[in-house]
Each structure stands twice: as C-alpha cells, then as structure tokens.
Amino acid sequence: MSIPAAREKFRSFLTKKGLRVTSQRLAIFEAAFAQPEHFTAEQLVDFARAIDDSVSRATIYRTLPIMTESALLREVDIGSGEKFYRPNAGTPNAQVAQVVCVDCDKIFEISAPFMEWYGSTVSNKLGLTPISQRLQVSAHCDAFRRAGSCPRRT
C-alpha cells in the first residue's frame, strides 16, 4: 500500500471511529511511515515532534493502538518490556516471522507464508479456529560473540 493510500485509510478509519483527524495524529502517521526500522513509542515521540512540536506523548500512546487496530502498523513484543512498531508494507495480513538479536534488540522480519497453513492445520486437528499466531526467534549475534561488539548496535 502506498503512503498516500495508507494516509487515506488512516483518515477514514479515524472518521469511522468518530475520532477527529488532527494535525497531531497526521504528524504521528507521517513520522511512523517515515521509519525504515522498528521503533518504540518513545522514539516516535521525537520523530513526530520533529514534524509538529505540539504532539504530546499522550497523543502518541492513544494513537498507536488506533494505528495497529486499523492494520496500518504492526506491533511487535520482544519481551523486553517495550513494544516495537513498524508500518505494514504490502498486505496487512501477510504472515511474517521475527528473528530478534538479543545482543542489540534488532528485529528482522522474514516472510513466513507457511504460518497460515500450519496454524490452520494444527487448530483444525484440535477442533479450533485460529484467530492469531506469531513466530518469533531469539538469537545471538555471531559477530558479537567473535569480536565482542555487534555491528548493528546503535
């Protein structure tokens, strides 16, 4: 989905939910969609304020669930106490697996089309219908183990 199409989807979703389309929410959208990597809510505060300095931390924390509910953002929990976010590129329901480097918290996403088949097959055998699934692998950085530093750590 292109950024203009995603922006229009966001506007429509807000209107459908009875929420106002404000300059702060649009700044949050623009900041989120400008990020090439996963980001936290706290990082998004800085990114959005660079666009519109009136964006509040509270507005960020209220807008992120709206953006995830609308499938514009994907929320990733790596068990560190913080949630990470990333714009949904392409199909909102595309199955992805995450590989998390525990040395630098870098999140890699890979296409995992087998997940839908596997989830359905296992659930059906148990008489269940899957509603969500995720595959997340935690891994150590080989370079960190060899050299003592992770090249991806910022």
CATH classification of the domain holding 19: 1.10.10.10
Tens digits of per-residue pLDDT, 28-84?
999 999 998 889 999 999 999 999 999 999 999 999 999 999 989 988 887 777 898
* Same domain (yes/no): 77, 52: yes
Domain end residue (candidates: 42, 73, 90)? 90
Domain end residue (candidates: 90, 112, 138)? 90
Average pLDDT taken over every residue of the chain: 85
Q: How far apart are CA 124 and CA 21, in angstroms?
A: 42
* Same domain (yes/no): 46, 7: yes
Whether this prediction's pTM lies above 0.85 is answered by no
CA-closest candidate to residue 64, choices 42, 95, 49: 42
pLDDT of residue 52: 95
Domain of 110? 95-154
Tens digits of per-residue pLDDT, 1-24?
788 899 999 999 999 999 999 999
Q: How far apart are CA 51 and CA 56, in angstroms?
A: 12
Q: What is the 3-state secondary structure (H, E, C) of 82-107?
A: CEEEEECCCCCCCCEEEEEECCCCCE
Cβ atoms of residues 20 and 14 within 8 Å: yes
Q: Which two tokens stand for residue 11?
A: 């506007």
Domain end residue (candidates: 63, 90, 117)? 90
Tens digits of per-residue pLDDT, 72-120?
998 888 777 789 898 886 655 567 777 778 777 787 877 777 877 888 8
Q: How far apart are CA 24 and CA 55, in angstroms?
A: 5
